Structure 1
Amino acid sequence: MSTMQSVLIVEDEMIIAANISMQLNHLGYHVNGIIPRAEEVLPHIKLQVPDILLMDINLKGEMDGIELAGLIQNEYKIPIIYLTANADEVHFNRAKSTNPYAFISKPFKKIDLQRAIELTIIRVAEEKNSKPNEEIPNEPFMLSDSIFVRHHDKMVKINIHDILYIEAERNYCKIHCKDKEHLIVSTLKDLEEKLTVNHLMRIHRSFIVNLFHIDEIANTHVVIARKAIPLSAELKKQLLLHIQKI
């Protein structure tokens, strides 16, 4: 029996997922769960954190496995092993940026799964024996002119002036800047309560915008960096009044 107790399988092809689960059981691991949809993973992890995450890259739906891995890493330090039938350069480079512990190409044999997990266990043990880093907070925190968000094992500074708009996507937010996007684990409501600058304003249930970057205001939307962002009818008057004051 391995020192790793549990493995969570994120795979939308249930026949493959069931086969992986059976092989893991034969190898002496506990299957923490089988989840086919990306949006179900974080709620599951909040209830029961696995020791290892087996993640299919090509999940069906709005979010693929690489995007999901980035979200998970904002909040948890769980070793990720990618499963993929598509090993092209673009997918590999995107996946590599999330620092996975291993890749397993489909179709794979039981020995491939066994070796990937064993190597992950060894690497985790080595990391635990190395000098621990200072604890990095999960929650973003605000300064007067910037936001610090977690990215892997460090906090990254985002200048508020560089924020174009913030978009809500279920239980996380995507901060769109001039040259980059940042995913953070937070609801838009929670983030709105923490923001104190008067030029960041919520104009729709799913969007906060930087008033300085608005290029056009129409009846039903505003335009920022060529992106049409919906504008709630009840907030349009408030937006126009607010713009005149800044």
Structure 2
Amino acid sequence: MTVQFIKVTKKDRVCYAPVPEPLEEGDKLEIMEMKDEALFPPAGKNARISLSRNPMVFVKMNDGFQRILMKNILYVEAGGSYCTLHVHGMPAILVSAPLARVSEHLDGEYFIRVHRSYLVNKLHIESIAGNFLQVGVVAIPISKFMKKKVLGSLNMLSFSK
């Protein structure tokens, strides 16, 4: 299956969308096509598509692709060769790919691996207590091997007496 979408080059950024943003003078429009496997290429291929520094990801849903803003993804939960994306304001989305492949497509500025089964969007961490992160009403475990890296990647402000 091939999906057509629009690439809009704004003055200082590039936007991809199934429906173009309002155009202004000086914007360039380009029709592009993306194969299903472009979001999750076979693991053996050397050439990868990286969506790093892109504020969105297109997720295959039913017979098309749904645009999801990375800032709206709360966390990703692994379950064998599948992952569940938990997105603010949407039902959970099941993706047929392991967590390692999904994480390649999510911007490292937002997401951090906190456990072998979880990627968490740093924007949605409400609190940290012991070995758990609070994301909304969900407590997500932090692996003891990952805790130092997790805490080091967050903007922590603490004072000693």
TM-score, normalised relative to structure 2: 0.63
Within 2, Cα distance between the matches of 1:190 and 1:168?
11
Identity of aligned residues (%): 31
In structure 2, the residue matched to 1:165 is 75
Deviation at 1:138, TM superposition (A): 4.2
1:199 aligns with 2:110: yes
Equivalent AA in structure 2 for residue 199 of structure 1? Y
Deviation at 1:195, TM superposition (A): 2.5
SS in 2 for 1:239: helix
4+ runs of 1 displaced by more than 4 Å?
A: none
In structure 1, the residue matched to 2:10 is none
Equivalent of 1:137 in 36, 50, 72: 36
Deviation at 1:239, TM superposition (A): 1.2
Deviation at 1:172, TM superposition (A): 0.8
In structure 1, the residue matched to 2:23 is none
Over the aligned positions, Cα root-mean-square deviation in angstroms equals 2.0
Q: Is the 8 A contact 1:139 1:149 kept in 2?
A: no
1:150 aligns with 2:49: no
SS in 2 for 1:232: coil
Within 1, Cα distance between the matches of 2:108 and 2:34?
28
In structure 1, the residue matched to 2:146 is 235
TM-score, normalised relative to structure 1: 0.42
Q: Is the 8 A contact 1:136 1:154 kept in 2?
A: no
Q: 1:229 to 1:203 in 2, by over 3 A?
A: same
Within 2, Cα distance between the matches of 1:224 and 1:234?
20
In structure 1, the residue matched to 2:27 is none
After superposition, the C-alpha distances for 1:113-164 in whole angstroms (9 at most, x for unaligned) are xxxxxxxxxxxxxxxxxxxxx8851453636111101112211101000000
Please identify which structure carries the higher strand content.
2
SS in 2 for 1:179: coil
More displaced, 218-227 or 188-197?
188-197
Name the structure, 1 or 2, with higher relative contact order (CA <8 Å, separation 6+): 2
In structure 2, the residue matched to 1:179 is 89
In structure 2, the residue matched to 1:212 is 123
**Count of aligned pairs:** 112
1:222 aligns with 2:133: yes
Structure 2: segments with no counterpart, 5+ residues: 1-32, 41-50, 157-161
After superposition, the C-alpha distances for 1:214-239 in whole angstroms (9 at most, x for unaligned) are 01101111110110101011211111
Within 2, Cα distance between the matches of 1:150 and 1:163?
15
After superposition, the C-alpha distances for 1:81-122 in whole angstroms (9 at most, x for unaligned) are xxxxxxxxxxxxxxxxxxxxxxxxxxxxxxxxxxxxxxxxxx
- Structure (1 or 2) with the larger CA radius of gyration: 1
Deviation at 1:194, TM superposition (A): 3.0
In structure 2, the residue matched to 1:105 is none
Q: How does 1:11-160 map to 2 (within 5 A)?
A: 136-138=35-37, 140=39, 142=51, 144-160=54-70
Q: Is the 8 A contact 2:70 2:110 kept in 1?
A: no
Equivalent AA in structure 1 for residue 94 of structure 2? L
Equivalent AA in structure 1 for residue 151 of structure 2? L
Structure 1: segments with no counterpart, 5+ residues: 1-133
